[in-house]
A and B are shown apart, each in its own frame.
Chain A
């Protein structure tokens, strides 16, 4: 008997993702994005994202099933992001997933978006070591998670107390006159810059600060002040150095805290996830520090680090395999779903 075929729906932000997996095998990862429609607003506009999700939903399902070479009637279970995320956006995917589950007469699993970011790595690197630590960084989240059992128990060690890391990238990019989202252009510009040129602050790294929490608001403001001071003085802004120094500050804090959390908890596997995990400096520094600390680092390909449907299908597949009970028919979305709720 072959492993169950699971379809996953992800609509927590601006990506409409529909993925198909069988066991740990990725069969399809169809994605529609409304990112271009948000560009001139400098951030994701929830109503625009929600409208785009509705438009893209059924066509994206068709693409996913076609790419996977399966038909809807082959599906054994449906998984969907139930939170955290933008309520209006979440509800489009949730309602669609509930309808497909009803029409196909298969169980429905409402899952946690953050846990799905961890689960996606199983599609590339096989079963997760448990416990693992996970560092998830994107425009919407910056979290350090302890994962004793991905299907049942995920706990939060720390998270950002203000901006998400990805938001800091977006805002710094804006200060430097770069497009939204800010991650890729900053990464590119930083390649020609000196990461030690400017000593930007490392938030929450004092001896009395929370060991695993993050803060990027002060860093963002420091960069803006530095750039504006240059502009006021009529001096040119060394964009590459600013980008490299900012990126270094983010990567330094994230990796230092993740490695420290691994050591403190006796965990020797670290998984990276989220859109910011595509940042080349973060990946390089994480590799360097994990190697030095004897930690096995697992990083999904950039395509799977960003939000997608495959990650939701991957977690759904894991839940089916673990025999976790499906969600009730009155499943709803929770924009601030706590991380210890893997499925609801």
Chain B
């Protein structure tokens, strides 16, 4: 079965096409696009390119895998809603995975940019299974066990080297393996926000004349 994988949880969006045979996934094409705040502009073109590079049509795809974050909300939602809409329009299942699961492999702690001077993190054992997280923390207050992989810009503040690594199609497929075997077990695609919306109820009516 052909699988389309999408992730917009980090500043580099990923769109990949893989062929899944039994439990094995062979990545046919992948686009990793440094996209900053432009996920919405660049994701669909990246999907088109990945499909073309793989020599397949969207109609041939049998399932969609979406990274659910954690990641900066606005960009994250672009990937999640794109995956949901593509799958809905094609009548195929969409399954979601923690994006951090798709970064690096083996025993590691993954760190990515959470903005506001914080990092998202998750820890994995030698089998690659997530044992802690995902969470969000200030790097200075983090007690993370190495090796660290992910966004190297946080090495200084974490006080340890961070091996550069990003979300990959292979990682998304690996994280989604069980759900792809049985998509009926997958829930709806709900982003891993980890933070509540910033919103404060007004405390009095005074601001009307003072603002």
Q: Which residues of A pack against B, CB within 8 Å? A: 40-42, 45, 47-48, 50-51, 54-55, 57-58, 61-62, 72, 87-88, 91-92, 94-100, 102-104, 171, 174-175, 220-221, 224-225, 228, 329-333
Separation in Å of the B124 CB from the closest CB of chain A? 28
Assembled-state Cα–Cα distance A145/B142 (Å): 55
Contact, CB under 8 Å: B208 / A224: yes
Given that A47-B198, A104-B89, A174-B205 are known contacts, is A92 also in contact with B81, CB under 8 Å in the complex? yes
Contact, CB under 8 Å: B85 / A41: no
Assembled-state Cα–Cα distance A103/B4 (Å): 12
Contact, CB under 8 Å: B201 / A40: yes
What residues on B are CB-neighbors of A51 within 8 Å? 73, 77, 193, 197
Does any Cβ of A come within 8 Å of B58's Cβ?
Answer: yes
- The main secondary structure of chain B at its interface with chain A is helix
What residues on A are CB-neighbors of B45 within 8 Å? 329-330
Q: Which residues of B pack against A, CB within 8 Å? A: 38-45, 47-48, 58, 73-74, 77-86, 88-90, 190-191, 193, 197-202, 205, 208-209
Neighbour of A91 across the interface among B40, B190, B208, CB < 8 A: B40
Q: List 20 A-B contacts (CB under 8 A).
A: A41-B202, A47-B197, A47-B198, A51-B197, A54-B81, A57-B84, A88-B77, A91-B77, A95-B43, A96-B82, A99-B81, A99-B82, A102-B47, A102-B58, A104-B89, A174-B205, A221-B208, A329-B44, A329-B45, A330-B45
Assembled-state Cα–Cα distance A100/B85 (Å): 6
Given that A95-B43, A102-B86, A330-B45 are known contacts, is A57 also in contact with B205, CB under 8 Å in the complex? no
Neighbour of A171 across the interface among B199, B201, B208, CB < 8 A: B208
Neighbour of B201 across the interface among A42, A58, A92, CB < 8 A: A42
Neighbour of B197 across the interface among A48, A62, A92, CB < 8 A: A48
- The main secondary structure of chain A at its interface with chain B is helix
Assembled-state Cα–Cα distance A50/B41 (Å): 17
* Most interface-central of B44, B45, B84, B198 (chain A CB within 10 A): B44
Task: In the A-B complex, list the 3 residue pairs whose CB atoms are closest, starting with the nearest.
Answer: A103-B89, A99-B85, A47-B197
Contact, CB under 8 Å: A58 / B208: no
Neighbour of A61 across the interface among B83, B88, B190, CB < 8 A: B88
Neighbour of A54 across the interface among B42, B48, B80, B86, CB < 8 A: B80
Contact, CB under 8 Å: A41 / B90: no
Assembled-state Cα–Cα distance A94/B47 (Å): 16
Assembled-state Cα–Cα distance A329/B74 (Å): 19
Separation in Å of the A106 CB from the closest CB of chain B? 10
Contact, CB under 8 Å: A220 / B208: yes
Contact, CB under 8 Å: A175 / B205: yes
What residues on A are CB-neighbors of B58 within 8 Å? 102-103
Separation in Å of the A34 CB from the closest CB of chain B? 11
What residues on A are CB-neighbors of B90 within 8 Å? 103
What residues on B are CB-neighbors of A47 within 8 Å? 73, 197-199
Contact, CB under 8 Å: B38 / A95: no
